């Protein structure tokens, strides 16, 4: 979808995107005359864009529409970047490098990955998960 400032015959630029209860308020402005318009989506339109798995907004803006875990409503730990392991008596730490690798995998499998790898580490008497442990787990579990 593109927007054209008819008086200037100039393509309008996306300025801001604000989500609001299932709607997106998308503001465009004309770079020639500065005139602004807002496109306000209904829930169907918002959802269709979300379903494509794309992000609406200026380049570099935080993603509102596409970054959510598809199972957020059904997996309690989903979406929490660093689920605490403190409930277990043997607390396992993650190095920054290991956390970075965890962040590379799809959000909807991260909680399961964290839990499984911490169990793998504890079973081997390891209290810090680093890239070496991840490589060992990958060799053990993965293809």
Partner 1 sequence: MKGYHDIAGDGGSRILDQIAEQRTRVADGLAGVRHLVAVGSGKGGVGKSTLTIALAERLRARGHRVAILDADFNGPSQARMAGVQHAVFVPGREKAALPRTPTGIGVFSMGSVIPESEALDFESAARGESHTWRATREFALLGEILGAFEWGSLDLLIIDLPPGADRTVQYADFFGVRASFVLVTIPSQVARGVVARSVAALSSRPNRLLGYVENMSGYYCRDCNAVKPLFAADASAGFGIPCLGNVPFDPDLARTCDFGLLATALRDSAASDAIDAIARRLLDELNEDQP
Q: Which residues bind partner 1 (CB under 8 A)?
A: 1-4, 6, 9, 11-15, 22-23, 28, 43-44, 46-48, 50-59, 68-74, 101-102, 104-106, 108-109, 112-113, 116-117, 119-120, 134, 137-138, 141-143
CB of 127 to partner 1, least distance (A): 18
Judge contact between 30 and 8, C-beta under 8 A: yes
CB of 117 to partner 1, least distance (A): 6
Judge contact between 27 and 36, C-beta under 8 A: yes
For partner 1, the closer of residues 54 and 90 by Cβ is 54
Q: Which two tokens stand for residue 31?
A: 């770079």
Cα 85 to its chain centre, rounded Å, is: 22
CB of 91 to partner 1, least distance (A): 19
CB neighbours of residue 50 within 10 Å: 19
For partner 1, the closer of residues 90 and 105 by Cβ is 105
For partner 1, the closer of residues 90 and 131 by Cβ is 131
Torsion angles phi and psi, residue 63, rounded to 5: -75, 130
Task: For residues 27 and 35, give the distance between their C-alpha atoms in angstroms, rounded to a whole number.
Answer: 10
CB of 118 to partner 1, least distance (A): 10
């Amino acid at each position: 979808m593109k927007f054209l400032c008819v008086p200037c015959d100039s393509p309008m630029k996306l300025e801001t995107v604000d989500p609001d209860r299932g709607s997106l308020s998308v503001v465009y402005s004309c770079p020639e005359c500065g005139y602004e318009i807002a496109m306000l989506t209904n829930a169907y339109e918002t959802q269709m864009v979300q379903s494509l798995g794309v992000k609406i907004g200026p380049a570099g803006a935080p993603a509102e529409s596409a970054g959510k875990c598809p199972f957020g409503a059904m997996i309690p730990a989903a979406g929490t970047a660093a689920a605490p392991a403190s409930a277990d008596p043997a607390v396992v730490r993650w190095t920054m490098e290991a956390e970075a690798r965890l962040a590379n995998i799809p959000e909807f499998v991260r909680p399961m990955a964290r839990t499984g790898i911490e169990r793998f580490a504890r079973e081997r008497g390891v209290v810090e998960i680093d890239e070496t442990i991840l490589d060992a787990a990958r060799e053990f579990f993965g293809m």
